[in-house]
């Protein structure tokens, strides 16, 4: 029997489900409903959704550790469990049919998402589903049949994760063979760009499905990195992805 409960990030008094514009990747600017999963199998030191995994008592390091007042999160405060039927009700109340499953790492909850996508499709066949994943977990056949687009963000050494857990050949091979896949690399400097190119060569990722995005959690940092990265994309024939939501609203949640 499929799982009927989703573990989601909490926003204020409810789940982090919101209507906005897609800020990254090949569908940047597209009106979308975001559903943010809690829990992740990676622990990126620059992650801007660390409230989905950086729980009290865990050993993971984060760039914000040196920020005054920053502390790890109480799991019971920042995670909410919700019946799939209630999630479907909330999503269907919003005037938008492009739904983005994000996180955290959504594929840790494969069965529950299958149930949600099936329920939403039953309500209206116009629903379209994007999945934002770190590319380390192979989806089930049912999950894949319901998804329209994978936004895969393989992690580099700059994430702080060891290569054995952030780079899974079986999963990358699966996504590489899917026409639904787009691969987005977070780039802070030229070393990251070289590492990304080595990874896409080693795993035979399609050159025309690669996007490069500057690392940054504020507009000033993005501006410093976006110009040289845009030039690199032009020279090497990669797609460029900015972080539209940061430029529009800053590093805020629920937008």
The Cα 49–Cα 64 span in angstroms is 12
> What is the total count of domains within the chain?
1
Residue 176 located in a structural domain: yes
Burial 131-168 (b: 16+ CB within 10 A, else e): bbbbbbbbbeebbbebbebbbbbbbbebbbbeeeebbb
Beta strands (DSSP E) in the chain are 5-11, 14-15, 17-21, 31-36, 79-83, 98-102, 128-133, 149-152, 181-187, 210-214, 239-240
Strands across the sheet with 14-15, in order?
A: 14-15, 5-11, 79-83
Task: Give the domain range for residue 137.
Answer: 5-186
Residue 242 located in a structural domain: no
Does the pTM exceed 0.85? yes
| Cβ neighbours of residue 17 closer than 8 Å, sequence gap 6 or more | 8, 11, 33, 34, 35, 36, 87, 90, 91, 94
Helix (H) or strand (E) holding 91: helix 84-92
The Cα 108–Cα 133 span in angstroms is 10
**pLDDT digit of tens for each residue in the chain (255 aa)?**
456 899 999 999 999 999 999 999 999 999 999 999 999 999 999 999 999 999 999 999 999 999 999 999 999 999 999 999 999 999 999 999 999 999 999 999 999 999 999 999 999 999 999 999 999 999 999 999 999 999 999 999 999 999 999 999 999 999 999 999 999 999 999 999 999 999 999 999 999 999 998 988 788 888 888 889 999 999 999 999 988 888 878 777 887
Q: How far is CA 130 from CA 22, 136, 142, 143, 221, in A?
A: 10, 17, 15, 11, 27
Residue 218 located in a structural domain: no
Verify cis geometry, omega within 30 degrees of 0, for the bond prior to 36: no
Residue 200 located in a structural domain: no
Residue 138 located in a structural domain: yes
Residue 94 located in a structural domain: yes
Residue indicated by tokens 């019971």: 76
Residue 67 located in a structural domain: yes
Residue 199 located in a structural domain: no
CATH number at residue 71: 3.20.20.70
Q: Phi and psi of 112, rounded to 5°?
A: -65, -40
Residue count of the chain, please give it.
Answer: 255
């Amino acid at each position: 029997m499929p799982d009927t409960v989703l573990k989601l990030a909490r926003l204020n008094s409810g789940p982090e489900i919101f209507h906005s514009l897609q800020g990254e990747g090949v569908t940047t600017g597209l009106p979308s409903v975001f559903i943010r999963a809690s829990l992740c199998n990676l622990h990126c030191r620059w992650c801007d959704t660390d409230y989905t995994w950086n729980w009290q008592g865990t050993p993971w390091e984060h760039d914000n550790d040196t920020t005054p007042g920053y502390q790890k999160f109480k799991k019971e405060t920042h995670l909410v469990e919700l019946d799939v039927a209630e999630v479907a009700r909330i999503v269907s109340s919003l005037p938008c049919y492009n739904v983005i499953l994000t996180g955290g790492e959504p594929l840790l909850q494969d069965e529950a998402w299958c149930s949600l996508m099936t329920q939403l499709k039953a309500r209206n066949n116009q629903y379209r589903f994007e999945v934002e994943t770190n590319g380390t977990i192979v989806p089930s056949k049912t999950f894949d049949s319901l998804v329209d687009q994978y936004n895969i963000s393989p992690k580099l050494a700059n994430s702080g994760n060891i290569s054995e857990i952030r780079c899974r050949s079986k999963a990358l091979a699966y996504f590489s063979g899917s026409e639904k896949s787009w691969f987005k690399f977070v780039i802070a400097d030229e070393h990251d760009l070289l590492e990304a190119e080595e990874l896409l060569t080693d795993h035979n990722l399609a050159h025309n499905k690669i996007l490069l995005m500057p690392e940054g959690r504020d507009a000033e940092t993005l501006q410093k990195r976006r110009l040289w990265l845009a030039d690199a994309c032009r020279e090497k024939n990669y797609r460029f992805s900015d972080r539209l939501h940061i430029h529009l609203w800053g590093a805020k949640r629920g937008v």
